[in-house]
Structure 1
Amino acid sequence: MRGKTCSRTGVILLATALWTPVALAHPHSFITLMTTVMAQDGQMTGLKMQWTMDEITSADLLYDAGDAKPGSPVWKKLAAEVMANVLGQHYFTEVWHNGEKVKFTNLPGEYSLARVNHQAVLSFILPLAHPQPLKGQTYTFATFDPTYFVDMSYDQPADAKLPEALARNCNISVKTPQPNEDTLAFAQSLDKADAPPEDMELGKQFAQQVTIQCQ
């Protein structure tokens, strides 16, 4: 390995033994996102997230879980290990308001890990450090691995959701970026032993941006 690869010690670490030599270009692993905005008394309080890992990434976790029943100590231990890695990378998420980052708390409100068919699904609540007013405001957020070792994306725009109470006065949209040819070529040139320069934030250039706009 070369370069600064701190973010690869997050979710990606769980799949290192499973990458195959033929996987030459970034990304090497895929996580499908679903996010619901959480609100109370007209203020945004957090994001309820569900991350579904691809089958190869999931295999290591599911092997460790064996035949353990949902909610058993085995699953709780695995969930805690995965969540610790996610917390170490600030939930792999950024929330912005008026040009400034919105801060999170260091502990999720709740979290769990489960098996859905042949895939591992991590569910958790990302709590904001302080409730944020929604009336007349616009927020953006994105979830991504800065190294782009893992592609983290929504299958469809409807997978970023508002609760019914917010949907009356707020809109939510998902914008998928179109990186230029040089960026695409650079990502494709990286093999599994490479990491892009940390200040490049390669994954951010591929990250879908979710916008919440309220009246």
Structure 2
Amino acid sequence: MQIVKHSACALFFAVLSFTAAAHPHSFISLKTEIVADETHLSGLKMRWTMDEITSADLLYDAGNAKPGDEVWKKLAAEVMANVLGQHYFTEFWHNGQKVKFLNRPTVYGMERDGHQAVLTFILPLAQPQPLAGQKYIFSTFDPSYYVDMSYAEEKDATLPSALQKRCKIAVHTPQPSEETLNFALSLDKADAPPEDMDLGKQFAQQVTVQCQ
């Protein structure tokens, strides 16, 4: 099979071409931990695990590199540059307003987990946000829905131990309409949905953080 890159939808990983139609064509499992002190939320510690097909090209480039080798740093920098170009593929909301991010992550890296590539980084908020009595909502998604980015389990979104008594975190999975599902199924790899449709957002899980 031929390795191709899907640049039109800002896909940042190489994927193997296959014959199946329908979006999504690639899958990333998400894990996120809130980064905060006792009074303010400052970022999101993210772990993105790519499916084996999506991982294949990156792991081929890494070869037999050991953790911490220069090749992992180079791959992480290349992938992270594309993630930054899409604003971390993440939206973060407070009181109906988008919360801004810093342009660069504080830390990032890439590693191998069996036959899967894993990108880790801390997404920093531009300004720390107060926790007391506040509610925050965030989502991570590919707007085109070429890539499915989702939490497999509720426990994949977590709070630091210092916040577990006074804050709650929950993952909410949407239920798109049958019409939306059928439209996604109709899209082939070369197809892109209309930008104003926000197809990926209609499938995006929302994580809520509510603090006392």
The TM-score by the shorter chain falls in which range?
A: over 0.9
Task: Give the residue type in structure 2 aligned to 1:83.
Answer: M
Match of 1:9 in 2: 10
Task: Give the residue type in structure 1 aligned to 2:194.
Answer: P
TM-score of the two chains, using structure 2 as the length reference:
0.95
Alpha-carbon deviation of 1:9? 2.3
Is the counterpart of residue 65 in structure 1 residue 98 in structure 2?
Answer: no
Give distance in 2, aligned partners of 1:170 and 1:86.
Answer: 29
Alpha-carbon deviation of 1:6? 6.8
Match of 2:130 in 1: 133
Mapping for residues 1-215 of structure 1, pairs under 5 Å: 8-12=9-13, 14-15=14-15, 18-21=16-19, 23-215=20-212
Alpha-carbon deviation of 1:19? 2.3
Task: Give the residue type in structure 2 aligned to 1:54.
Answer: D
Task: Give the residue type in structure 2 aligned to 1:48.
Answer: K
**C-alpha contact 2:32 2:45 (8 A) present in aligned 1:** yes
Alpha-carbon deviation of 1:69? 1.4
Alpha-carbon deviation of 1:40? 2.0
Give distance in 2, aligned partners of 1:56 and 1:6.
Answer: 17
Q: Which has the higher contact order (CA 8 A, sep 6+)?
A: 1
Alpha-carbon deviation of 1:145? 0.1
Give distance in 1, aligned partners of 2:25 and 2:207.
Answer: 23
Task: Give the residue type in structure 1 aligned to 2:79.
Answer: V
Give distance in 1, aligned partners of 2:207 and 2:128.
Answer: 18
Normalized per residue, which structure has more helix? 1
TM-score of the two chains, using structure 1 as the length reference:
0.94
Secondary structure of 1:59's match?
Answer: helix
**C-alpha contact 1:153 1:208 (8 A) present in aligned 2:** yes
Worse-superposed segment, 38-47 or 171-180? 38-47
Structure 1, unmatched stretches of 5+, are none
RMSD value, Cα: 1.2
Task: Give the residue type in structure 1 aligned to 2:207.
Answer: V
Give distance in 1, aligned partners of 2:72 and 2:131.
Answer: 36
Taking a change above 3 Å as real, the CA distance of residues 175 and 7 of structure 1, as seen in their structure-2 partners, is farther
Deviations 1:50-106 (A, max 9, x none): 000000000000000001111111111000000001000000000000000000000
Give distance in 2, aligned partners of 1:32 and 1:149.
Answer: 14
Secondary structure of 2:190's match?
Answer: coil
Task: Give the residue type in structure 1 aligned to 2:9.
Answer: R
Give distance in 1, aligned partners of 2:114 and 2:151.
Answer: 19
Structure 2, unmatched stretches of 5+, are 1-5
**C-alpha contact 1:170 1:212 (8 A) present in aligned 2:** yes
Large movers: runs of 4+ above 4 Å:
none
**C-alpha contact 1:10 1:88 (8 A) present in aligned 2:** no
